[in-house]
Structure 1
Amino acid sequence: MTQHSSRSTALQTVVGAGTLLLGCLLAWGATSISSEAGYGGVGPNFFPWVVAIVLVVCGVLSIVHARTGGFRALEEASGDGQAHWKGFIWVSVGLLLNAMLITTLGFILSCALCFVLAVRGFKSSEGRLDLSPKAWFKDLLIGVALAAPVYWMFTQLLAINLPGLTNTGWL
């Protein structure tokens, strides 16, 4: 068990304040979303408001908790003492490329690419980075196998439009 310090109190307060700020920003953004009721009686701004309220409550409670003694029963941190920046970069590039390419490549291929790059990041953090073509291809197939059923469920069963490679609704 670690002893509580003023530094950890300050850091816990910063995390709470960041959560509170994020909730406030989300609430501000939710004000610009239409509240007209849709399917099921709720409008498109319902979930942003729910998430904003939960974030605000969590932020306030985190700040109060940090200022009244903080997290008292924290166990010693496990894992590396330093962040694994190479892995972080692999995962970040995967997420950013997914966001940039989803309308060009379609949901399935952009999500599969994101999966491939995220796997590189996680394996890099374990010291098992494999950049061989076989590993890339295997991970791409797994990514497609995960993304395709999600895409089909949303487009075919739920009738929710996601960006596709074709206009058929199957790719």
Structure 2
Amino acid sequence: MTQQALSPAHKRSQTLVGGGVALLGLGLAFGAISIPSAAGYAGVGPNFLPWVVALALLVCGGFLVWEALSGGFREMEPASEGVQAYWPGFVWVSAGLLANAALITSIGFILSCTLCFVLAVQGLRGAEGHAGVDPKVWLKNVVIGLLISAPVYWAFTQFLAINLPGLTSTGWL
């Protein structure tokens, strides 16, 4: 979209995108305030990464707002007329993320991340036109999710001594 063709509606929507990114950064910073800052390994505390991400989002949001107000997103390609958002995929992925957040403390990291993976894959497959209820595909996605989440859990709990919610107190599930 060229600078001359930018309508007030486009300018407003682009500014809202930048403002949304900045608000997301502020929300993450607000959440990072409650995380203890006691230094751990190499002098880095558990609140370090949330602060880095919050600051990065604030900077990116500020740049997006500046870009929108100073002429619009200059490198943005014009929207295709026939392309529509695939909302069912968005719902599947969102459901996976929300289920993970809601269930991680009750069913543990491995199972909640596996569930998140399965639901997200279902949404992404649907966006490609391969949505379905084939039990073999769902079982394959569960196995892949377990093969990804279990080693991550074990690496954090057994090798890095970082406590993640588990199903048992052994540190292996």
Mark yes or no: TM-score above 0.5: yes
1:96 aligned counterpart, secondary structure? helix
1:34 maps to what in 2? 36
1:19 to 13, 18, 21: 21
Q: 1:105 to 1:45 in 2, by over 3 A?
A: closer
Structure 2 letter corresponding to 1:20: A
Q: 1:10 to 1:92 in 2, by over 3 A?
A: same
Shift of 1:78: 5.6
TM-score, normalising length from structure 1? Answer: 0.86
Q: Does 1:90 align with 2:92?
A: yes
Greater alpha carbon shift after TM alignment, 154-163 vs 95-104 = 95-104
Shift of 1:154: 0.8
Structure 1 letter corresponding to 2:62: V
User: What do you get for the CA RMSD once the two structures are aligned?
Assistant: 2.2
Greater alpha carbon shift after TM alignment, 106-115 vs 48-57 = 48-57
2:163 maps to what in 1? 161
Greater alpha carbon shift after TM alignment, 161-170 vs 21-30 = 21-30
State the identity as a percent: 60
Greater alpha carbon shift after TM alignment, 33-42 vs 142-151 = 33-42
1:50 to 41, 49, 52: 52
Structure 1 letter corresponding to 2:73: F
How far apart, in 2, do the equivalents of 1:113 and 1:151 lie? Answer: 14
Greater alpha carbon shift after TM alignment, 2-11 vs 141-150 = 2-11
2:152 to 150, 153, 163: 150
2:112 maps to what in 1? 110
How far apart, in 2, do the equivalents of 1:148 and 1:70 lie? Answer: 44
Greater alpha carbon shift after TM alignment, 1-10 vs 13-22 = 1-10
1:67 maps to what in 2? 69
CA contact (8 A) 1:4 1:72 kept: no
Greater alpha carbon shift after TM alignment, 30-39 vs 132-141 = 30-39
How far apart, in 2, do the equivalents of 1:34 and 1:115 lie? Answer: 29
Structure 1: stretches of 5+ with no match in the other structure: none
Shift of 1:158: 0.8
2:136 maps to what in 1? 134
Shift of 1:80: 5.9
Q: 1:153 to 1:43 in 2, by over 3 A?
A: closer
Shift of 1:140: 0.8
How far apart, in 2, do the equivalents of 1:113 and 1:32 lie? Answer: 28
How far apart, in 2, do the equivalents of 1:25 and 1:100 lie? Answer: 19
2:42 aligned counterpart, secondary structure? helix
Structure 2: stretches of 5+ with no match in the other structure: none
CA contact (8 A) 1:94 1:118 kept: yes
